[in-house]
Chain A
Amino acid sequence: MLKSIQTINDTSSSNDTDADISIYKEKDPDLIKANSLLHLQNAELVLRTRTMAVMRNIYEIINTSQPVQITIDNLVRAIVQQLHFRKVSLALVNHKNRTLEMLATYPDDLTDEQEKVIFSKLYKTLQIPLDDKDNFCVNALSQNHVRLTNDMYDLLRPLISRKTATELQNLLSIQTSIIYPINFAGKPLGVLIIHLEKNLGNLSRSERDSLKELVEIIAIAIERAQTYSELQTANQRLKDLDRLKDEFVSIASHELRGPMTAIRGFVSMILSGDYGAVGEALISPLKDVESATERLIALVNDLLNVSRIESSRIAFHITEFSAASAITDVVRELSSLAQNKQLIIEQNFQESPTICADIDKFKQILINIITNAIKFTDKGGITIKLTQKPPYAHIAVTDTGVGIDKANQNKLFVKFSQVFSNQSGKPVGTGLGLYIARNLARSMGGNLRLEDSIINAGSTFAIMLPIAKTKEAQNTLQKLAKAHATI
């Protein structure tokens, strides 16, 4: 016991203590006892201090996100430098090949020559098979019990022979090896092996207790490093997949457009009479081909858009502009569409806010909503009301159309879910328009929703976008800048 305390006290004046004890030995037995007690307590304090120092080191290691190998190298080094053991090794479970891999050792003092002599094969990393139940490391881990041995063969079997183990032990001046299993939340991570110098016997009780505490924190450090590493790999994989998907969608949509252009083009030219008069009977089926092709083209365009939105690849060019003037532009563009059905578009601008958004995307949303309104309305008209509900500008598009029943209302903004027109029983659109429109509105810090709908009376959709110079507008700009920075 005294011997091990002496090793811990190596920075203190151990020579003096010897002298002191010899003087008092002749004299008072009580003084001797008191003195020994003081030494013991002193030794324990020193151990405590050093253990705390290692713990602090380990906390630092936990806080820096390093790869697993660097983490465990730092761990074994910290332990040796503070607690002065002859050698410390750390082995981690490798689940893929079912072994305990000796991944870190400090000090790593076996020379290449010696390594060649000791090991018949050169092991870069010793891998102990987990099914060798007689190996003390495997045993310690599976039984969750500290093991102790004076024979290195117990540690490294079946990788080396008994003879080699003895040679190794002598070369390294190691007598006792103590194996601590490392577990995190019941999951076995590996083992920590403390090698003690020759003639040092075992660890004191306090040393053993301190090590038990340290092993728990070491478990946290290892778990954290492993989790971080897994996260990085997963993240990289996701980024790669995302890029692959984008490339695929881009190429696919480009390739698909070629033949579709040809079909659309030739059918249009046939119907225009470019190839001669078209028989009455052919006009209707040809027109059907034309509209099917147009739907197909719209679908490919929408798919490309959806793919871009979902990976935040759409570029937003945010400016401040008058909502009223943008709305007027769109209404002008769609006026002929409305006139074809004898519908009136009315603009009711109660206020004239300046909004902070991407003007093209705002117009795209408006076009989508108003076109839908025209599609689903046979008589009457569409009213566009512009107001302010700070911090948002509020644009309500109301039509006098067929309305949307409760069952279909839930499906409105869902991808690919189509509302069947009550008028013709045919599906209208690609099922992506409202999904894209709402996505765009939300990406710009606003929203798009159905405010109200009554069967045979009409529906009201509302678009909301942040007013310029509000906090909402600021937040949106920051979010968009960040989204682009991560690409």
Chain B
Amino acid sequence: MAKILLVEDDELLSKMYIQKLKREGFEVLSAYDGDQGLSLMKDTHPDLVLLDIMMPKLNGMQFLSQVKKDHGTSSIPVVVLTNLAGTQNAQKALLLGAKCYLVKSDFTPDEIVKKIKEILVK
């Protein structure tokens, strides 16, 4: 059973994604800010991370760059899941090592699960 770490500060959206992922048979851990996310990363070593960008304390970009610097966590695939649009943000995230950059409102939860499965198979 694959382990997914969800780093998302919006409670409603967090609840929605957790419900969906659990339904699909994933083990789900959730953090509400970048700091919490980082410690969960190091402690639990998930198989994939769903990462929001606009968060209090440590934001998504900072989280991403720290994760990729640490040898222990750098190989874990990170999917940026944000409502911040703009090709410049996407490029920055991809350069920092994100696997892909998804704008939340453009995908249904089913479509996101599909993307996660695609990445985990590789």
Please tell me the number of chain A residues within 8 Å of chain B, measured between CB atoms. 22
Residue B84 is within 8 A (CB to CB) of chain A in the complex: yes
Over the window 298-318 of chain A, the binary record of Cβ atoms lying under 8 Å from chain B Cβ atoms (1 yes, 0 no) is 001100100000000001000
State how many angstroms separate the Cβ of B31 from the closest Cβ of chain A: 18
- Distance (Å) between the CB of A38 and the closest chain B CB? 79
The answer for the CA separation of A266 and B23 in the assembled complex, in Å, is 13
> Within the complex, which residue of A254, A261, A272 is in contact with B84, where a contact is CB–CB below 8 Å?
A254
When C-beta atoms are compared, the residue in chain A nearest to B15 turns out to be: A262
**Bound: A254/B109 CA distance, A:** 19
The one of B20, B54, B83, B85 in contact with A261, judged by C-beta atoms closer than 8 angstroms, is B83
- The smallest C-beta distance from B2 to any residue of chain A, in angstroms, reads 19
Cα–Cα, bound, A300→B104 (Å)? 13
**Which applies to chain A's interface (DSSP): helix, strand, loop or mixed?**
helix
Does B103 belong to the interface (CB within 8 Å)?
yes
B-contact bits for A311-337, CB 8 A (1 contact / 0 none): 000010000000000000000000000
Q: Output the residue of B13, B105, B106, B110 with the most chain A CB within 10 A.
A: B105
The CB with the most chain B CB atoms within 10 A, among A253, A257, A261, A360, is that of: A261
Task: Determine the chain A residues whose CB is within 8 A of the CB of B19 once the complex forms.
Answer: 269, 274
A262 near B16 with CB under 8 A, answer yes
Residues of A within 8 A of B83 (CB): 254, 257-258, 261
Closest to A266 in B: B16
Q: When the two chains form their complex, are residues A268 and B110 in contact, meaning their CB atoms are under 8 A apart?
A: yes
Indicate whether A274 sits within 8 Å of B105 (C-beta atoms), given known contacts A258-B83, A265-B13, A315-B87. Answer: no
Chain A residues lying within 8 Å of B23, measured Cβ to Cβ, are 274
What's the Cα separation between A294 and B30 when bound, in Å?
A: 27
User: Shortest Cβ distance from B112 into chain A, in angstroms?
Assistant: 9
8 A Cβ contacts from B14-45 to A? 16-17, 19-20, 23
Residues of A within 8 A of B109 (CB): 265, 268-269
- Which residues of B sit under 8 angstroms from A260, Cβ to Cβ? 105
Asked whether B1 is an interface residue with its Cβ less than 8 Å from the other chain, the reply is: no
Q: How far is A265 from B19 in the complex, measured between Cα atoms in Å?
A: 11
Q: Which residue of A lies closest to B109 (CB)?
A: A265
A257 B104 Cβ-Cβ under 8 A: yes
How far apart are the CA atoms of A300 and B85 in the complex, in Å?
11
Q: Report which residue of A254, A265, A301 has the largest number of chain B beta carbons within 10 angstroms of its beta carbon.
A: A265
Q: How far is the CA of A363 from the CA of B112 in the complex (A)?
A: 23
Separation of A253 and B85 alpha carbons in the complex (Å): 9
Q: Enumerate chain A residues within 8 angstroms of B85, measured Cβ to Cβ.
A: 253-254, 301, 304
- Decide if B88 touches A261 in the complex (CB within 8 Å): no
Q: Which residues of A contact B (CB under 8 A)?
A: 250, 253-254, 257-262, 264-266, 268-269, 272, 274, 297, 300-301, 304, 315, 360
User: Closest 3 CB pairs between A and B?
Assistant: A257-B83, A268-B108, A257-B105
Sample of 14 more A-B contacts, CB < 8 Å, known A257-B83, A297-B105: A254-B85, A257-B104, A258-B12, A260-B105, A261-B83, A264-B108, A265-B20, A265-B109, A268-B110, A269-B20, A272-B110, A274-B19, A301-B85, A304-B85
Show 27 A/B contacts (Cβ-Cβ < 8 Å), sorted by A. A253-B85, A254-B83, A254-B84, A257-B104, A257-B105, A258-B13, A258-B104, A260-B105, A261-B104, A262-B13, A262-B16, A264-B105, A265-B17, A265-B20, A265-B109, A268-B110, A269-B16, A269-B19, A269-B20, A274-B19, A274-B20, A297-B105, A300-B105, A301-B85, A301-B105, A315-B88, A360-B87
